Amino acid sequence: MKNLIAYFSREGNNYVGGSIVDLSVGNTEIAAKMIHELTGGDLFRIDAVKKYPANYDETTKVAKAELRQNVRPELKAHMDNMDEYGLIFLGYPNWWDTMPMIVFTFLEGYDFSGKTIVPFCTNEGSGMGRSESDIRKLCPGATVLKGLPITGEGVKRAGNEIKAWLKELRLID
Ligand SMILES: Cc1cc2nc3c(=O)[nH]c(=O)nc-3n(C[C@H](O)[C@H](O)[C@H](O)COP(=O)(O)O)c2cc1C
């Protein structure tokens, strides 16, 4: 069975290290690619048909409304070979203390029974929030390993932290 690294990341106008900056590559995408370097496997970008606003504040409002209304945004691309994967790294930014709702759509779209999900999340201080318990609720048949929270500001220097986490989980030597 192969490894999959599935992630959602929103580049552009974002809140990092306490200020608004423009990211050419999203923080979670940077972390996803670092994990990919260490573990191999396939990368899959989780994306919504409807684009989030370019502006950070606008995005926080849209995201809050989606969370409150328990919306399931439509996925832009689907995977047709989830059966081939046993270990799924799942990456996302912390949005309002959990995953963006598009990640909920992704988790409900496939059968993760018998698979292992390894979450990682970039954030501005809320860590994993309640995302891990949300993943367990959405994927009751999956094993969910201990997630890694990474601050957006520190993501480019997170190589050693990522390595130590993967070693602790016995996913790399
Ligand atoms: C809609 C929205 C909501 C957010 N909510 C939180 C939050 O509740 N806690 C937190 O620590 N960071 C929050 N953030 C900050 C992001 O988690 C952080 O900037 C992250 O690194 C962005 O990752 P990305 O570049 O991969 O999208 C939020 C950002 C956005 C856009």
User: Span 155-162, mean pLDDT?
Assistant: 97
Percent of the chain predicted with pLDDT > 90: 96
- In the chain, count H helices and then E strands: 5, 8
Nearest CA to ligand 1 atom 18: 123
Element at 167 (helix H, strand E): helix 159-168
pLDDT digits over 81-95, tens only?
Answer: 999 999 999 999 999
Q: Which of 5, 14, 27, 28 to mutate to test the pocket of ligand 1 (most atoms within 8 A of CB)?
A: 14
Residue 130 to residue 77: CA distance in whole angstroms = 26
pLDDT digits over 35-50, tens only?
Answer: 999 999 999 999 999 9
Nearest CA to ligand 1 atom 16: 123
User: Ligand 1 centroid vs 92 CA: distance in angstroms?
Assistant: 9
